[in-house]
Structure 1
């Protein structure tokens, strides 16, 4: 039985797990959670919404799916993992070992590794669950209501989102390959016996399905009840997914139009908001994000465990995450985002991979023990870390807990208005609509830098270099850098970054994606072994 089929067989089990944490009292009284069948769970609009609520949690929470591993916890893991592989988040030491193999490019190139298995398996779980809702409504006798449109809109959006994650990760990039012949991922619709899977469709075919799904999602959400909260996929979020799909395809006109619709009504953050820690979906820019429930948190597998310098876990205490020094040094002094990293933080970790940690004697920025220790104490006091936390030059303070120095959960942000601005600017630049791109870039840039002047970027090449810079700073740590390299066909090169080659090894430099198939994740070996439609000859 392949992974896709396993996700269908596990669907009834998952419904029990998902519904048991969110059922209404009436439903529980009529159907105990240990006896809920798929038929019951999909029997009404309200019950289908409960299934969606479970998916909302699965985006960020520990993977409790049958057959998967909780050590790779949805977007909480994969957002920082993709940035560790894509050059955004730089590790300053091996820490406790978590993600070291990711940044060394050893995980996604190994078909037996948990990372490639869970990424594939979790996304096909979203597809299977979405299929169940879509097929049930299609085959049933449900009255069209705003609430039913909400359910269907989110189901179609989740299916499009999952296929986009899969095809951009397990196949050659659309803009650098031959999408009509390049192998993508299986497209599956069935939710009933005999649970037939499928061979790998072409990249072009997968994109066609994604585009159809996201347009269906938008059509339903335009006539739907309002999203209950930002964990739910709203109409704006669906437009954001559409913009991402179009951007990765090089469909610039669609990307620009969808991004503008996605950000409509979401104000750019001001300075105090931007520097507040990115720890809540209540920020004005957040279009879509996981509103983390205390009882459902990941604790030592959470997003903040990987990215926040204040989280009280061994990953952060021993391994402060840093920005590329080359990128940081490009940020103007008049840009308030420069405060989100600390270039002069003392290197207090004896195990720092650059060999300069442990004392003022090895840290070139300090001349005395007193100066060295005072600098650390000031950082600890300012940001609320524990005395056991290490510091490191260029360390991030972009992501800060609401309750620093603890393991308390914080929200996970998936989509912000800033991303949509930058998608639209990139698309306008690629269409050679220079004045329109400059106008929007001025609006965005001036919100961050008091001296910003977009007229400095007068043609497509200059605009694109500025987009790359802005995405690198604005979206640092938010999971985009790996796929940005693919879209731009740029090599990965940690020269002039502060990363230690002894730590990064093969991940220190990777040739551009058009010339290097290691940018394409391996299909899980478990899928090849079990799926009769995929053989070893189909492996990336």
Structure 2
């Protein structure tokens, strides 16, 4: 899709060249590896999947796309920037300001929309190729083959979920039987012409079929090599997300419980350790970033972590909403993940209170102002060029703070699954069930948590929404949460700056505001013979 679709052959050749044995490279020239050879064995198909695992976090190497705004490393923090949950304290070096201002996803010519569409359809195309090759061949069914097929179906379901929930009206508040979705493509190979927009309902039918197939294959598959692979638990997690996004509450609750089985919630020390390793007990699915293939200044931690040594971070620590943070009880250890009294040392801070104790209302003398800054710099390993700001985030910490070294990217945690289960049961009006699910997380984080304080659906949902905003802060959920809840954005009391945020400061709810929907890349409409300008959102 999109203009000259990258040849799958090229993408697979790159993966095969990297991963094959010396004997294979000796017998097959690196410029003539055929698609047939790349799909000739489970070992080679596994290498193709390894390419997708790396593309989840790595810089975009696809022909016709750009390395900026690559993979989940960019789109996780981008969705929280658009959704208003991860607040920027200043323009920094300009990265993501268009997301904050809502001038990127509403622009059909933006790189953000292009890469989100183009990369996700590459996942679809690669999955199609593997699925169809196995279907037309005489491979013997083995646990390893099932693992490959299971992951391929899961990746296709995941990609379509990212696409339809970004480029279409929400399932719950929309009319899915007639609302335009995204093209549903299941064939592989040239001429890569794309296809017409299916309805939202048709996309969901495909996603549900795919994730059910993924679960079936992975139930009879060999174990995942590591957490970068899509395991059976991760497939259940994707299934839970799909069901939640359409209001299939029973399936969401059941699948979320299955997804988190065997992934215990983090202890206090682990929760506060920085979310920089996919080895944490809660992590169901995540990218183990390989040193030689890191994103450097396009990495996840570049966009979200305080101490990462990049210009976006040094001048622009990311903030939690004042309203959100001020509701965290003293008995909840998550209050240590943000610093409400950090001095505002940035003279370019967007709230116009930075640079001096004289402008920062939390300090009345220079000595205390700079002593507080020095303590934060030392404790969290930032450089002396880093600025601090009230309500700044220290939830995300590098293994090697103050550097640009790579850290893992987390895609799915069991805490999210607990909250999906709680929300789904609340929406089913199963008050006791929702209380019990919510208590699993609440009691783990807050020593004084009392599930009986939430006695009806409304109070339960208010608490669940707050818990998601705090627990999953910076993990990319707020944009799609707002779509599901049909809630707008109002940053009036959050600490965000109207000057910095512009149109993103206040937005009406999605059901009456189509600006929530990403524009389809204009280059796709221009090149796809099945689309016209009338198909634009």
For 1:149-206, what per-residue CA distance to the aligned partner results, in whole angstroms no more than 9, with x for missing partners?
Answer: 0000000000000000000000000001000000000011222344342100000000
Give the one of 15, 29, 34 matched to 1:18: 15
Q: Which residue of 2 aligns with 1:6?
A: 4
Asked whether the 8 Å contact 1:56–1:232 carries over to 2, the reply is: yes
Asked whether the 8 Å contact 2:193–2:528 carries over to 1, the reply is: no
Is 1:359 matched up with 2:383? no
Distance 1:506 1:532 in 2: 34
Matches within 5 A, 1:77-226: 77-226=74-223
Q: Which residue of 1 aligns with 2:265?
A: 268
Is 1:46 matched up with 2:29? no
Asked whether the 8 Å contact 1:19–1:33 carries over to 2, the reply is: no
Distance 1:197 1:356 in 2: 51
Q: Which residue of 2 aligns with 1:321?
A: 318
The Cα shift of 1:19 comes to 2.3
Give the one of 402, 405, 423 matched to 2:402: 405
Asked whether the 8 Å contact 1:190–1:196 carries over to 2, the reply is: no
Q: SS in structure 2 opposite 1:404?
A: coil
Structure 1 residues without counterparts, runs of 5 or longer: none
Q: SS in structure 1 opposite 2:440?
A: helix
Give the one of 72, 75, 86 matched to 2:72: 75
Q: Which residue of 2 aligns with 1:258?
A: 255
Distance 1:90 1:194 in 2: 43
Distance 2:99 2:189 in 1: 36
Asked whether the 8 Å contact 2:344–2:389 carries over to 1, the reply is: yes
Matches within 5 A, 1:130-529: 130-529=127-526
Asked whether the 8 Å contact 1:62–1:74 carries over to 2, the reply is: yes
Distance 2:182 2:351 in 1: 40
Distance 2:309 2:404 in 1: 6
Distance 1:421 1:33 in 2: 47
Distance 1:408 1:194 in 2: 40
Asked whether the 8 Å contact 1:88–1:323 carries over to 2, the reply is: yes
**C-alpha spacing 1:22/1:164, structure 2 compared with 1 (3 Å):** same
Runs ≥4 residues deviating over 4 A: none
Q: SS in structure 2 opposite 1:36?
A: coil
Give the one of 28, 32, 35 matched to 2:32: 35
- Matched length: 537
Distance 1:302 1:410 in 2: 9
Distance 1:393 1:100 in 2: 20
Q: SS in structure 2 opposite 1:15?
A: helix
Distance 1:431 1:11 in 2: 44
Structure 2 residues without counterparts, runs of 5 or longer: none
